[in-house]
Amino acid sequence: MALIKTQTHQPIAHDERKQARDCNSLLLELENDNPMARRWAARDLADCPAASAALVSRLQLEDDVSVREVILTTLTVMGNEVAVVGLVNCLRSEKVALRNEAIEAMKQLPDEVAPIMRGLLADADPDVRIFAVNILESLRHPEVESWLISVIDHDPELNVCATAVDLLGEVGSSASREPLLRLKARYTQVPYIQFATDLALKRISDG
């Protein structure tokens, strides 16, 4: 026994993609018992735009994180309306992991998410509004600062504002100064807001 070179020269084991690769059989594969098969199906479904609805519903049930990750990647590649709506619905899920995975996927879709951002930031559920601010963190979009300003000026929920302030310390310009001061004045009794607005203001004036 010893150090050996690959006998085959092709370290290929076998190709897991047994099924013919048409959209219908891929959809069936998505329900396969073997996570590896589901993963490959989810990956190859990127070429079947009509499959986004099926991917979205699989996502909600899927327990294997490796399969969920692939589904999310495929949905981000598709980036169509069904995919985006599906991701938004995940924000309302009871499963924390799924919610956070959806947030990360949506960060990759500035053009598709931007048009619905106002709606998300006005959602009745404060948790969804916090998630929307989380999405803004890495969303490469010119309106991010103005969205955040409108959050801290208007959102009734303290924690939504707090999340927005955290981000304004990073992306804020002088345009954020007055709104931050207003927020600070609104919550004089809340030490965290005093701390966070001061920090953001300092960073903005130094930057």
Residues 98 and 59: their CA atoms lie apart, in Å, by: 8
Q: Which residue has the tokens 């590649």?
A: 77
Identify residues 105-124 at the interface with another protein (CB under 8 A): 108
Residues 48 and 156: their CA atoms lie apart, in Å, by: 42
Q: In Å, how far are 21, 23, 166 from 29, measured between CA atoms? A: 10, 10, 43
Q: How far is CA 105 from the centre of its chain?
A: 4
Q: Does 183 bind another protein (CB under 8 A)?
A: no
Q: How many residues of this chain bind another protein (CB under 8 A)? A: 57
Q: Does 102 bind another protein (CB under 8 A)?
A: no
Which of 45, 84, 88, 103 binds another protein (CB under 8 A)? It is 103
Residue 165 C-beta: closest distance to another protein, Å: 7
Residue 18 C-beta: closest distance to another protein, Å: 15
Strands (E), 121-180: none
Residue 80 C-beta: closest distance to another protein, Å: 19
Which of 170, 175, 178, 182 binds another protein (CB under 8 A)? It is 170
Amino acid at 176: S
Nearest Cα residue to 164 out of 205, 124, 134? 134
Residue 137 C-beta: closest distance to another protein, Å: 9
Structure tokens at 53: 């609805």
Which of 24, 57, 60, 66 binds another protein (CB under 8 A)? It is 66
**DSSP letter string, 57-85:** HHHHH---HHHHHHHHHHHHHH--HHHHH
Structure tokens at 200: 């953001």
Structure tokens at 196: 């966070």
Q: Does 3 bind another protein (CB under 8 A)?
A: yes
Q: What is the pattern of x (binds another protein, CB under 8 A) and - over residues 118-157? A: --------xx--xx--x-----x-----------------
Residue numbers at the binding site for another protein (CB under 8 A): 1-6, 10-14, 33-36, 39, 63-66, 69-70, 73, 96-97, 99-100, 103-104, 108, 126-127, 130-131, 134, 140, 158-159, 162-163, 165-166, 169-171, 190-193, 195-196, 199-200, 202-203, 206-207
